[in-house]
Amino acid sequence: MTAKIRKLGYYSMKVPNRAGAGAKLLEALRLEGVNLLAFTGFPEAGGAQVDFVPESDAAFRRAAKRAGMKLSARKTVFLVQGDDRPGALAGAMGKLAAARISITALDAVTAGKQRFGAILWVKAKDVTRAARVLGAKAG
């Protein structure tokens, strides 16, 4: 099966790089019934940056506001999901390379039951072209 690629919104925020900082955010969202399609974090300038890819932008923004989260503006990410196999991401990455579109970041993982998922970012100026090259569906 060919991977399904969607163009989605994501939000980021800076948090302290301390044990439990991410857990506190995720618990606040859980209590509000927010489902995340992806969540990632990494050290950044003495703290950490966390990125949220919500299933529903509106529900996520409402919950984040109630929890006092200071979010970035909505940005774009690509969510890739499909059957796991050798080279599962090679096709999508090859299409971007052939179009001379650089991937600025990528996280991928197997999801069990022969499935995989990935999130990938390109520069804002390349989002429209990348969506076309990848055949990404909105939302």
The per-residue pLDDT of the chain, averaged, comes to: 94
Take residue 138 and report the two structure tokens written for it.
């909105």
Contact between 9 and 37 (Cβ < 8 Å): no
Claim to verify: residue 84 and residue 129 sit in the same structural domain: yes
**What is the pairing mode between strands 75-83 and 4-15?**
antiparallel
Confidence of residue 1 (pLDDT cuts 50, 70, 90): low
Q: How confident is the model over 6-60, as pLDDT tens digits?
A: 999 999 999 999 999 999 999 999 999 999 999 999 998 889 999 999 999 999 9
List % helix, strand, coil for the chain (3-state, nearest 5).
30, 40, 30
Residue 117 within a domain: yes
- State pTM to two decimals: 0.91
- Number of structural domains (the chain) is 2
Residue 61 within a domain: yes
Claim to verify: residue 94 and residue 116 sit in the same structural domain: yes
Take residue 2 and report the two structure tokens written for it.
């060919």
Claim to verify: residue 85 and residue 68 sit in the same structural domain: no
How confident is the model at residue 8, as a pLDDT?
A: 97
How many Å apart are CA 74 and CA 124, to the nearest integer? 11
How confident is the model at residue 15, as a pLDDT?
A: 93
Amino acid in the structure at residue 46: G
**What is the pairing mode between strands 75-83 and 115-122?**
antiparallel
Domain span holding position 35: 10-72
